[in-house]
A = this chain, B = another copy of it.
Amino acid sequence: MEQTDSALLRDLIQHEAWGEVGSHAETMHVQDVAAALDDLEPETIARVLPELPRERWAKTVSYLNLNLQNLLLQQVDDETGRLIMSEFSPDDRTTLLETLPADQVEQLLKLLSPGELKHALQQLGYPEESAGRLMTTNFITVREYWSLSTALEHLRRYREDQETINTLYITDYRGRLQGTISLKRLVLEDPSRKVEELVTGEPVSIFASEDRTEAVRLIQHYDITALPVVDANGAMLGVVTVDDIMDVAEEENTEDFHKIGGVSAVGLSLRDASPALLYRKRIGWLVLLVFMNVFGGAGIAYFEATIEAVIALVFFLPLIVASGGNAGAQAATLMVRALATGDVQARDWLKLLGKELGVSLALGLTMGAAVSILGVWRGGPDVAIVVSLSTVLVVVVGSMVGMLLPFLLNRFNMDPATASAPLITTIADVCGILIYLSIATAVLQIGTA
Contact = CB atoms under 8 A, between A and B. Distances in A.
A234 interface: no
A249 interface: yes
Contacts of A257: 253, 256-257, 260, 333, 336-337
Given A155-B188, A275-B355, A275-B358, A333 B260 contact: yes
24 contacts: A31-B221, A166-B166, A187-B187, A224-B243, A245-B246, A246-B246, A250-B341, A256-B257, A257-B257, A258-B337, A270-B338, A271-B344, A275-B355, A278-B359, A279-B359, A286-B323, A286-B367, A287-B367, A293-B318, A297-B318, A298-B315, A304-B314, A322-B425, A326-B425
B366 A287 contact: yes
Nearest to A268: B334
Interface string A214-230: 00000111111100000
Interface string A331-370: 0111111100101100010001001001100110011001
Interface in A263-299: 263, 268-271, 275, 278-279, 282-283, 285-287, 289-291, 293-294, 296-298
Given A318-B429, A329-B422, A332-B261, A152 B187 contact: yes
A242 interface: yes
A183 interface: yes
Nearest to A303: B314
B260 A260 contact: yes
A17 interface: no
Interface string A145-158: 00000001001100
Nearest to A402: B261
Contacts of A35: 221
A316 interface: yes
A439 interface: no
B329 A421 contact: yes
Contacts of A221: 2, 31, 35
Interface residues on A, range: 35 or more
Contacts of A31: 221-223
A159 interface: yes
Interface string A229-245: 00000000000001101
A338 B201 contact: no
Contact of A422 (B293, B330, B433): B330
Contacts of A220: 243, 246-247, 250
B152 A343 contact: no
A322 B293 contact: yes
A370 B260 CA distance: 24
A141 interface: no
A29 interface: yes
A327 interface: yes
A105 interface: no
A262 B425 contact: no
A213 interface: no
A293 to B, nearest CB: 4
A426 interface: yes
Interface string A414-438: 0000000110011001100100000
